[in-house]
């Protein structure tokens, strides 16, 4: 039986890995591919998989595609408001791997058009979980987390259900420490873009690589785990594990401890998200006992990676403060990539913005709709730019 799927962010690392896994499969039909700027790769993917519908969110790239003879055979759109035209019936599966706050609106838009939503956009879950949860219940959609840590947690508990697991006592999320773990904090003001994106274990895009270097990515993952699994955030901990082989450890209330390990790549979580309509993928990897015998799990240095202090007294529910966190960090990373600020200013200014009185008050405000979230996003983005440029 043919399965219809959609891939948001098909030209990024997650999207490319997903397409490589299904390249020779006969039961998959891709109804829609999307990208921001990489229209050349998008065109190749569309031809290879015979995809008729494309969304290109970057306006200049969209106009370029409109004027290109090669795109004449395809239906191309500039935003996600056209989903009703594209998807006449529910699809079986959607992968959302759009990076940053930009992934939230597509997440909310696509829910009513799919049965399963595989989500690699942690920012959506953080700043819009209350909105997402309401919609997935309304449209009977199952969420499949694709971050390696959250996929591993899901695989250790009740994988077949969206229900929360009340038997979890503690969750341990591992962190490699990123490319700067052994770099002195005194050198953080001299870190280049290539230094910050040179991850020792993972091949990722620039934004998430920098988040890994600041350990903001791990802050996001703790909040994401709380939202997805409804565990008190005080019971979710971070341990440094330089090899990135173990992805999560769960201690249950009955004393049982489970550990999930696999090679540091996204193939297994992405393949696992496709298990809903495939037989299990087979990866003949041997167990790496050398790593397992030398885990040497350590507590992260919060004096060095100061962004981790954001988690102190963090709330167990989604609020507009989550939007402020995501938006401020997105903006700071962009400014660093544009060489407008130094690397150490990412975490310093992130903490400064989040401690301001107006932002702290957002902890008591649960988002009611996307427009409210977007308004805070725009406000925090401007506030962050003004702080850095003044």
CB-count burial class (<10 Å; 0-12, 13-18, 19+) for 233: middle
Per-residue pLDDT of the chain (390 residues; tens, 9 = 90+): 889 999 999 999 999 999 999 998 888 999 999 999 999 999 999 999 999 999 999 999 999 999 999 999 999 999 999 999 999 999 999 999 998 899 999 999 999 999 999 999 999 999 999 999 999 999 999 999 999 899 999 989 864 344 447 789 999 999 999 899 999 999 999 999 999 998 877 777 889 899 999 999 999 999 999 999 999 999 999 999 999 999 999 999 989 999 999 998 899 999 999 987 776 677 877 899 999 999 999 999 999 999 999 999 999 999 999 999 999 999 999 999 999 999 999 999 999 999 999 999 999 999 999 999 999 999 999 999 999 986
Strand partners, 248: 173, 260
Strand partners, 7: 33, 95
- Taking CA atoms, 237 is separated from 168, 250, 252, 302, in Å, by 13, 10, 14, 13
> Could you tell me the pTM of the whole model?
0.92
CA 80 to chain centre: 19
| Alpha carbons 170 and 118: distance in angstroms, whole number | 24
Count of C-beta atoms within a 10 Å radius of residue 41: 16
Count of C-beta atoms within a 10 Å radius of residue 144: 24
Count of C-beta atoms within a 10 Å radius of residue 240: 19
Q: Sketch the domain layout of the chain as residue ranges.
A: 3-145, 148-265+280-315, 319-390
Report helix, strand or coil for 60.
helix
Classify domain 319-390 at the CATH class level: mainly alpha
What is the topology classification, in CATH, of domain 3-145? Rossmann fold (3.40.50)
Q: Nearest-CA neighbor of 350 among 373, 382, 334, 326?
A: 326
């Amino acid at each position: 039986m043919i399965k219809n799927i959609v891939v948001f962010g098909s030209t990024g690392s997650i999207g490319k890995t997903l397409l490589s896994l299904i390249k020779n499969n006969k039961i998959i039909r891709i109804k829609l591919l999307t990208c921001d700027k990489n229209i050349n790769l998008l065109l190749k993917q569309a031809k290879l998989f015979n995809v008729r519908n494309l969304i290109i969110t970057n306006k200049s790239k969209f106009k370029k595609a409109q004027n290109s003879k090669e795109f004449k055979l395809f239906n191309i759109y500039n935003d996600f408001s056209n989903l009703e035209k594209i998807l006449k019936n529910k699809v079986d599966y959607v992968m959302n791997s759009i990076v940053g706050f930009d992934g939230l609106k597509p997440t909310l838009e696509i829910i009513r058009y799919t049965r399963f939503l595989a989500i690699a956009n942690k920012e959506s879950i953080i700043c819009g979980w209350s909105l997402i949860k309401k919609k997935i219940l309304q449209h009977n959609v199952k969420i499949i987390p694709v971050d390696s840590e959250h996929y591993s947690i899901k695989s250790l508990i009740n994988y077949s259900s969206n229900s929360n697991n009340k038997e979890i006592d503690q969750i341990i999320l591992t962190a490699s420490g990123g490319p700067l773990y052994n770099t002195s904090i005194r050198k953080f003001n001299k870190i280049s873009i290539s230094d910050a994106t040179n991850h020792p274990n993972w091949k990722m895009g620039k934004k998430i690589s920098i988040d890994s270097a600041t350990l903001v990515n791990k802050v996001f993952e703790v909040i994401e785990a709380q939202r997805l699994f409804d565990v008190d955030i005080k019971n979710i901990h971070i341990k440094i594990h330089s090899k990135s082989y173990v992805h999560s450890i769960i201690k249950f209330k009955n004393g049982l401890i489970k550990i999930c390990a696999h090679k540091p790549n996204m193939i297994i979580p992405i393949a696992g998200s496709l298990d809903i309509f495939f037989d299990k993928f087979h990866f003949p990897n041997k167990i790496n006992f050398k790593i397992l015998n030398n885990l040497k799990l350590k507590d992260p240095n919060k004096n060095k990676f100061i962004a981790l202090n954001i988690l102190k007294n963090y709330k167990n529910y989604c609020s507009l403060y989550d939007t402020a966190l995501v938006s401020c960090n997105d903006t700071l990373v962009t400014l660093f990539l544009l060489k407008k600020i130094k690397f150490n200013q990412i975490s310093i200014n992130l903490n400064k913005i989040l401690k301001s009185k107006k932002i702290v008050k957002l902890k008591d405000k649960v988002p009611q709709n996307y427009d409210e979230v977007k308004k805070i996003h725009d406000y925090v983005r401007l506030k962050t730019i003004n702080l850095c440029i003044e």
